[in-house]
Amino acid sequence: MPKAYSYIRFSRPEQLRGDSLRRQVAKANEWAEKRGVLIDESLRDIGVSAFRGANRIKGALGRFHDLVENGDVPRGSYLIIESLDRFSRQTAREVLPDFLALINAGIVIVTLIDGQEYSAESIDKEPMGLFGSLMVIMRSHEESKTKSSRLADLWKGKRAAAKESAAVMTSRLPGWLHTVERDGKRCIAFRPAEGDRPDGREVVRRIFVEAIAGYGRRTIATRLNKEGWSTFAGGKKWHPSYILKILQSRATYGEHQSYRFDEKGKREPVGAPLPGYYPAAVTETDFVRANSSRENRAPAAGRIGHAGVANLLKGIAHCQCGGRMARVYKGQGSKGGAYLVCADASRGDCGNVRRWRLDWAEEQVLARTSRIDFAKVLAKAEDGEPRGPTPAELEATITDMTSRLARVTEMIEHGLDGMMERAVDLNRQLKQAKAERAAMKRLGARAAAEPSPEQRRVAMAALRARLAAASEEERAELRTKLAQQIRAAFQKVVFGPNEIQVAFKGVVPYGKVAVQRTKIVMIWTDHPDAMFDLATMELDPETLVNQDRTVSEFIRLSRLRRSEQIEAPLTIEDDTLLPSL
C-alpha cells in the first residue's frame, strides 16, 4: 500500500531551537491527514546542507533514493517536502536527473508551500509544470550561491584582519583557550587554573611531554583522571579521543587553519595557515616529536602495566618468515619466564621453532646496538637505494600537470569528445604529485625536529644504564621511555633460528630534502664469522671506552645513592632528548 514519506531538512543544527522542525512536521501531518494516507517521518537530515548535494550523497534523501531503486518503496507513494529547496540547492542540471528518476519510478513529489504535486501523469499532461519546478530549483541554487559567496567574503575579511591586527575571528576556540578583554580589545589567552588542574598551557605541555616520553593517549588520560585534573569543558573525565585531538591540533603551537566542507562532506583547508594566531603552549618541534612518537608507538599500541612495558620489542619483533614474534609466559622456575616465539610456528606454518628468552633478547639488542655507530649504518643504507624526485622536480611536475589539466578542461567545455578520461587521469596524477610534495615537507619537518642518530644512540645507552640500577618504582617509567626510543630507532627486529637482525631506520639528508632510509644489520648469530659487517659499523675505540666507563660509573653512583641515601651527581641523563617544556 502506498504511503507518504515526509522529508525534513535544514542546514544547521541550531535551527532545532527555532520553528523550522515544528513547521515542517505540522504541515506534512496536516497534508497526510487530509489525504488519508499513512505517514513515515523517518527521513530527516538535521544540519545537512543541500547546496553541494550532501543530503543526496550521504543523507536521508540519498537513502530514500536507494530504497526506491531497490523497489522497497511502492509505486504511487508520496515524498512530502516543504519546498523544492529542501530537496536540493544544487544547479538544475545536477538536480533534474534525480528529480525525474523518482517521478519515473512512480513517486509523487509533493511541495507543501505551493501545494504542487509532481508525478509522471501531471508532467506528461502539463509539461510547463516541469519548467516551473526548474525555476524554483534555479532560484534556490542562486540564493545559496549568493549566501555562500557572502559568507566566504566575510571569513576572508576576518582572516585578513587577524593577520594584520591580531583580531579574534571567532569565540569558538580549543578547550585550553578562552577570550578575555584587554584594554578594550578581545584577545585569546590560556584558560586559567581550576581546582587541582593548572592553567591550559601547563595541561597541554604535560600531555606533550608524556607523549614524547612514549606514553599512549589512554595512559595519559588515565593519569590525568587519577590525579583529579578537571577537564576544560566540565566533563566528568579525560577521554583518550580528546588527548589525541590535542596532540594532533596545530593550535597547540599557535597555528590557525580555516576549513570548509566540500560536496562530499570532507573537510578541506581554506587559505594559508595563520601562524601565531593562538598563544603557543608548545613549539612546533615538540608537536612533530610528539606525533612521531605516537606513530612509532602504533605497532605496539596497548596498555602499559604498573611495571611499565612488559616487552620492549612489542610490535617490532618479527620472525624471518614475516610473521610476528609472540610473547609467551612459561611460569616460575629456572626455565620459566617470558619467551618470544614465532606465532606462525605455533600453528605449524613456520619451521622456526626456537624460543628466545625475552630478557636475554632485549639485552642483546640493547647491548650490541649501543656499540654501533647509527650514522654509519644509515650512511650505508643510502648506497644503491632508489632516489625519489627532488623538490624542484616535483614542483615542475605539478606546474606542468596543472597547465595540461587546464587545457584539457577547456577542450571539454568546448565539446571536444574523448577528453573526459584524460582529464580524470591527469587529475589523479596531479593529486599524487601533491601528496608526494606534502609527504616530503612532513618528512623534512620531522628530520629537523627529531634527534640525530648519535643522540638516539646515547639516549638508549643512558636509559639502559639507568634501568640496570633502577629501583622497582623507577623501572616502569624507564622501560616506557626505552621502548619508545627502540621503536623510534629500529623498524623491526628479526629472529631466525640462529640469528638476530635489526633493521635500523632514520631520516638522512638527500640534497635539500630528507629521505627515510632503513638498513638491516646482523647483531647476533651462532656463527661468529658472519659478524664481520657489524664490526665495520662499531663506534671508534675511544668512544666505546668512554661510554663503558661512563655507564659503569653511573651504575655505581646510582646504587651508592640508593643504598646510603646520599646525594651523588649522576653523569648520564636520559632526558636530553626531551624538549625543555
Can you spell out the DSSP letters for 153-194? HHHHHHHHHHHHH-----S---TTEEEEEETTEEEEEEPPPB
Tell me the three cell numbers of residue 65. 533514493
Kindly tell me the burial class for residue 283, based on how many C-beta atoms sit within 10 Å of its own C-beta (0-12, 13-18, 19 or more): middle
Fold of 177-300: Hect, E3 ligase catalytic domain fold (3.90.1750)
Left, alpha or beta for 108 (phi > 0: left; psi -120 to 50: alpha)? beta
Q: Which three cell numbers stand for residue 28?
A: 506534512
Q: What string of DSSP letters covers 346-375?
A: GGTS-S----EEHHHHHHHHHHHHTTB-HH
Q: What pLDDT does residue 43 have? A: 80
d(CA 199, CA 193): 4
Q: Where are the domains of the chain?
A: 4-146, 177-300, 317-323+359-384+451-562, 391-449
CA 20 to chain centre: 36
pLDDT along the chain (581 residues), means of 10: 76 53 80 85 68 59 83 88 71 72 88 82 78 65 60 68 76 90 87 89 94 89 91 87 94 87 66 87 90 75 55 91 90 82 89 92 89 81 60 83 83 70 82 83 72 84 82 82 88 92 79 73 78 65 67 61 49 38 39
**Residue 27: CB partners within 8 Å, gap ≥ 6?**
82, 112
Question: Are 50 and 11 within 8 A, CB to CB?
Answer: yes
Q: What is the pLDDT of residue 344?
A: 92
Q: Are 112 and 82 in contact (CB under 8 A)?
A: yes
Residue with cell 605541555: 205
Report residue 37 as a C-alpha cell.
494516507
Q: What is the structure's pLDDT at 70?
A: 86
Whole-number CA gyration radius for the chain: 32
Distance CA 492, CA 376 (A): 18
- Alpha-carbon dihedral sign for residues 291, 292, 295, 299: negative
Q: Hunting for cell 623534512 — which residue is that? A: 444
Instruction: Give the separation between CA 249 and CA 175, rounded to whole angstroms.
Output: 11
Answer for the pair 231, 222: CB distance below 8 angstroms, yes or no: no
**Helix, strand or coil, per DSSP, at residue 43:** strand
Euclidean distance between CA atoms 222 and 470, whole angstroms: 24
In terms of Cβ atoms closer than 10 Å to its own Cβ (0-12, 13-18, 19+), residue 520 is middle
Can you tell me the distance from the alpha carbon of 470 to that of 464, in angstroms, rounded to the nearest whole number? 10
Model confidence pTM above 0.75: no
d(CA 168, CA 186): 7
CA–CA distances in Å: residue 25 to residues 16, 65, 88: 12, 21, 19
Q: Which residues does 576 contact at the CB level (< 8 Å), separation at least 6?
A: 455, 458, 459, 462
- Per the CB < 8 A criterion, the answer to whether 357 and 311 are in contact is no
Backbone angles phi, psi at 314, to 5 degrees: -60, 130
CA distance 157 to 170: 13
* pLDDT attached to residue 571: 39
CB 74 within 8 A of CB 1: yes
Report the pLDDT value the prediction gives residue 192, as an integer from 0 to 100. Answer: 92
Q: Is 233 left (phi over 0), alpha (psi -120 to 50) or beta?
A: alpha
Superfamily of domain 4-146: Resolvase, N-terminal catalytic domain (3.40.50.1390)
What residues form DSSP beta bridges with 501? Answer: 494, 522
Is-contact 321 496, C-beta < 8 A?
A: no
pLDDT value at residue 14:
47
